[in-house]
Amino acid sequence: MILVNIVATVVNYGKTDQSGFAVASLIASIFAYGIFANYKNDPQNAPTYAVWLSTGSGVIGLILLISGLSQ
């Protein structure tokens, strides 16, 4: 999902106010990846908030990508 958020950030850069949301979603995605990297050997014990953060930032990244490409 980091790649989706990077592309969404690049597509929305300087166009609208959505660029700030794209950057925030990218930071959240990188943060979630860092949490999951700590649970590489036992992913079942990863915290629930990390799963929600990863999923939410991915969905928001996709929405921002579609929105940025349509402008």
Q: pTM to 2 decimals?
A: 0.89
Model confidence band, residue 15 (pLDDT cutoffs 50, 70, 90)? confident
Q: In whole angstroms, how large is the CA radius of gyration of the chain?
A: 13
Over the chain, what is the mean pLDDT?
Answer: 93
Q: Which domain holds residue 34?
A: 2-70
The stretch 15-36 carries a mean pLDDT of 92
CB 64, CB 6: distance < 8 Å: no
Count how many Cα atoms sit within 13 Å of the Cα of residue 40 in the half-sphere of its side chain.
4
φ/ψ of 26, rounded to 5, equals: -65, -45
In this predicted structure, the answer to whether residue 10 has a pLDDT above a threshold of 90 is: yes
Per the structure, the count of domains in the chain is: 1
- Which band of pLDDT confidence, cut at 50, 70 and 90, is reported for residue 71? confident
**Could you tell me the two tokens for 40?**
């590489």
